[in-house]
Amino acid sequence: MDEPHRPALRSAQWYGGEDRNAYIHRAWMRRGLPDSAFRGRPQIAIANTASALTPCNAHLGEVAQSVSNGVYEAGGIPLELPVVSLGETQVRPTAMLWRNMAAMATEEMLRANPVDGVVLLGGCDKTIPALLMAAASVDLPALVVPGGPMLTGHFRNEALGCGTDVWRLSEEVRAGTLSQEMFLRSESAMVRSKGHCNTMGTASTMALVAEALGTVPPGLAGTPAPDARLLEGAHDAGRLAVELVASDRRPSTFLTRASFHNAIVALAAIGGSTNAVVHLLAIAGRLGIDLTLDDVDRIGADIPLLVNLQPAGRFLMDDLFRAGGLLAVLREVRDLLDPTALTVDGKPLVDHLDDARIWDAEVIAARDAPFGERAGIRVLRGSLAPDGAIIKPAAASPHLLRHRGPAVVFDSIEDFRARIDDPALEIDEDSVMVLRGCGPRGYPGMPEVANMPLPRRLLERGVRDIVRVCDGRMSGTAYGTVVLHVAPESAAGGPLGLVRTGDMISLDVEAGILDLEVPADELAAREPDPRTVGAYAAPVRGWARLYVDHVQQADRGADLDVLVGGSGSDVTRESH
Ligand code: FES
């Protein structure tokens, strides 16, 4: 009656055999499970980032149930595993401070437990990157089910883009063109349904990029959270997870440099978030793939913008889904994709593009009529960013992509807030706002503050964009001519810490240059201001201390140096 134990299953190391330890592992798990549950059936963890404090992921319990049904139907045993969750809008000082902690905790819990494979449920910005970093390092068979974007909300008959319209409306209030009362009345319309932000922010970007990488079942990413097809896809993903274990399809077996090539092509074509760059670099680092900023620039720079979504365009994620979704976009750039890259179902990504169609050309453009040329995130280098910085041209003002102007320096985001509307601040549309102390180590955690609001008096004059430079990040929902991720950051001794108000800065996006026009000998003679070298609230204990001591710079994905690479899934020593 009983099937023999299958030694090939990792979980058999816990449940196989007749000795005392196997007895303990089985007995405490039984609680109604039949004996067959421990005999040759793949144990599939469902790593779930559902949390009431991560509102974008709060519905993932329902998605997990559909995954469970699929796992069980295919002969596996589903095991829900709550993992660290990060609500982008809720946690202070920034969710990025804990992306690596979430990845580390998930990696260790997957390794420590008797699981053979895992379905990763994420949504809000850092959750899918953290889950993928974990899965890459533990290298168990794994796939991602993104929780999906929310539906479009409306206010006064206008669609509201989550995040993007918060920035836009708050700027309108500062400019005096929208009343405070109307601004606050829009608040309850901003988030219409379950799901993550509906613009092409970081959550949407990372779900689509994870599919282009090959880690999401093709066609699933971007399915709106309330759409019944998400649960159908989750059910099928549960079945696929059991198949992954049977075929031993682990991240290291199908995630290659070619997968990252395709992810960068997709990132550019969708006009995705700049945050994807640090996340892709970090995931690649876990796999031992030497991906660099220059790869991002080289592969993505010439890709046209094919998706008309906020913040670079007009529409929102449920529009992208009805218009054909990611596969319709990728079909347009099929010749630029690496045909060797596989997806989690074992087939090449490009094999999934034959049936894809554009159903609304206002949302997804054909290759020969793109919404913009050369949409990829560009990498800048120069005397102000020796190890690189990035800019998203699709979200910038074309007239500022080549610019030279005097710096107006802020030593922290608090310094910025205290002085930006000071009438004595000398600033105009030619100025370059510089914000430092916001890098991985200096803040710490690299917050999304780089898209500094403009001074009220410039807004009132109708100015809507000036050049900004920062060692922090910006929200994927934000826009503007913003140079981000400057490396090394000021707290790591980068030249950003030496800039003085009035120094000339030159930006040339086409040439990939960000220069501080101060002679090298004069710069060498300057002492960095102590406020720029991480003195602000320097952590003395706990995770923040570990983070500051080990975090790498943005050009390396801001992962901890001790987390780069993988440890695999072997644990040979028993617990009793
Ligand atoms: Fe969660 Fe935007 S706040 S995705």
Q: Which residues pair with 119 in a beta bridge?
A: 46, 143
Dist CA 62 CA 58 (whole Å): 9
* pTM: predicted TM-score of the whole model, two decimal places: 0.96
Cis preceding linkage at 141, omega within 30: no
Is the same domain home to 331 and 443? no
Within-domain flag for 48: yes
Closest listed residue to residue 481, CA positions, set 447, 508, 444, 520: 508
HSE (side-chain half, CA atoms, 13 Å) at 351 = 11
Of ligand 1's listed atoms, the one at least distance from the Cα of 163 is 2
Are 279 and 400 members of one domain? no
Please give the pLDDT value at position 537. 66
* Single-letter amino acid code for the residue at 25: H
Residue ending a domain, choose from 303, 334, 352: 352
Q: Which ligand 1 atom is nearest residue 202's CA? A: 4
Per-residue pLDDT of the chain (576 residues; tens, 9 = 90+): 444 444 489 999 999 999 999 999 999 999 999 999 999 999 999 999 999 999 999 999 999 999 999 999 999 999 999 999 999 999 999 999 999 999 999 999 999 999 999 999 999 999 999 999 999 999 999 999 999 999 999 998 999 998 888 988 998 898 889 999 999 999 999 999 999 999 999 999 999 999 999 999 999 999 999 999 999 999 999 999 999 999 999 999 999 999 999 999 999 999 999 999 999 999 999 999 999 999 999 999 999 999 999 988 999 999 999 999 999 999 999 999 999 999 999 999 999 999 999 999 999 999 999 999 988 999 999 999 999 999 999 889 999 999 999 999 999 999 999 999 999 999 999 999 999 999 999 999 999 999 999 999 999 899 999 999 999 999 887 889 999 999 999 999 999 999 999 999 999 999 999 999 999 999 999 987 766 655 566 788 999 999 999 999 999 999 999 999 999 999 989 888
The reply to whether 331 and 390 lie within a common domain is: no
**204 CA: nearest ligand 1 atom:** 4
**125 closest CA partner among 300, 344, 272:** 272
Same-domain check for residues 317 and 387: no
Residues 271 and 419 in one domain: no
pLDDT of residue 532: 61
* CA-angle at 375, arms to 430 and 307, nearest 5°: 120
Atom of ligand 1 at shortest range from CA of 54: 1
CA of 488 to the centre of ligand 1 (A): 28
Atom of ligand 1 nearest to the CA of 56: 1
Taking residue 517's Cβ as centre, other Cβ atoms within 10 Å add up to 14
Pocket test for ligand 1, best of 49, 51, 53, 56 (most atoms within 8 A of CB): 56
Q: Is residue 365 part of a domain?
A: no
Please tell me the distance between residue 229's alpha carbon and the centre of ligand 1 in angstroms. 21
317 and 389 in a single domain? The answer is: no
Task: Indicate if 343 and 441 belong to the same structural domain.
Answer: no
Nearest-atom number in ligand 1 for the CA of 123 is: 4
Tell me how far the alpha carbon of residue 475 lies from the centroid of ligand 1, in angstroms.
10
Helix residue ranges per DSSP H, 74-155: 99-112, 127-138
Ligand 1 centroid distance, CA of 43 (Å): 31
| 344 closest CA partner among 548, 490, 146, 157 | 146
What lies within 8 Å, CB to CB, of 31 at 6+ separation is none
Same domain, 212 and 320: yes
β-strand pairing of 482-487 with 504-508:
unpaired
- Name the helix (H) or strand (E) containing 76: none
Quote the ligand 1 centre to 317 CA distance (angstroms).
13
- Are 232 and 275 in a shared domain? yes
Copy the structure tokens of residue 526: 């300057």
- Give the chain's domain count: 2
Instruction: Give the distance (Å) from ligand 1 centre to CA of residue 297.
Output: 26
Position 166 in a domain: no
The rounded Å distance from CA 391 to ligand 1 centre is: 21
Q: Which domain holds residue 291?
A: 41-152+192-352
Give yes or no: residues 537 and 421 share one domain: yes
The H or E element containing residue 422 is: none
Contact criterion met (CB below 8 Å) for 50 and 56: no
Query: Domain boundary at 335, 352, 369, which?
Result: 352
Residue 370 resides in a domain: no
The closest-lying atom of ligand 1 relative to the alpha carbon of residue 89 is: 3
What is the per-residue pLDDT for 6?
A: 42
Judge contact between 279 and 263, C-beta under 8 A.
no
Domain of 447, CATH number, reads 3.50.30.80
Are 293 and 387 in the same domain? no
CA pair distance 513, 10, nearest whole angstrom: 51
Mutate to test the pocket of ligand 1, among 51, 86, 89, 126 (most ligand atoms within 8 A of CB): 89
Phi–psi pair at 223, nearest 5 degrees: -65, 125
Pocket test for ligand 1, best of 125, 198, 200 (most atoms within 8 A of CB): 125
293-300 and 257-269 helices, crossing angle to 10°: 60
Give me the pLDDT at residue 526, please: 92
For residue 558, report the distance from its CA to the centre of ligand 1, in Å.
20
341 shares its domain with 402? no
Q: For residue 52, how many other CB atoms are within 10 A of its CB?
A: 9
Q: Which residues contact 415 (CB under 8 A, 6 or more apart)?
A: 531
Neighbour count for residue 105 (Cβ, 10 Å)? 15
* CA–CA gap between residue 282 and residue 59 (Å, rounded): 27
Domain-located, residue 145: yes
CB 297 within 8 A of CB 241: no
Dist. CA 124–CA 146, nearest whole Å = 9
**Residue 196 CA, closest ligand 1 atom number:** 4
**DSSP letter, residue 95:** G
Backbone angles phi, psi at 281, to 5 degrees: -60, -40
Report the distance separating Cα 473 and Cα 279, nearest Å.
12
The answer to whether 468 and 489 are in contact (CB under 8 A) is no
Q: Give the Å distance between the CA of 192 and the centre of ligand 1.
A: 13
Give how far the C-alpha of residue 427 lies from the chain's centroid of Cα atoms, to the nearest Å.
33
Ligand 1, atom 1: closest residue by C-alpha: 124
Q: Is 487 inside a domain boundary?
A: yes
The Å distance, Cα 496 to ligand 1 centre, comes to 30
**Beta-carbon contacts of residue 549 (< 8 Å; ≥ 6 apart):** none
Tokens standing for residue 345: 């179902």
Give the 3-state secondary structure of 522-556.
HHHHCCCCHHHCCCCCCCCCHHHHHHHHHECCHHH
Residue 2's pLDDT is 47
Helix 275-287 with 293-300: angle, nearest 10 deg: 120
- Residues whose beta carbon lies within 6 Å of some atom of ligand 1: 56, 88-89, 124-125, 163, 196-197, 201, 203
Q: Tell me, what's the pLDDT at 4?
A: 43
Residue 574 lies in a domain: no
Domain presence at residue 185: no
Residue of minimum CA distance from atom 2 in ligand 1 = 197
Place of tokens 């993988």: 566
Question: How many angstroms does the Cα of residue 87 sit away from the middle of ligand 1?
Answer: 7
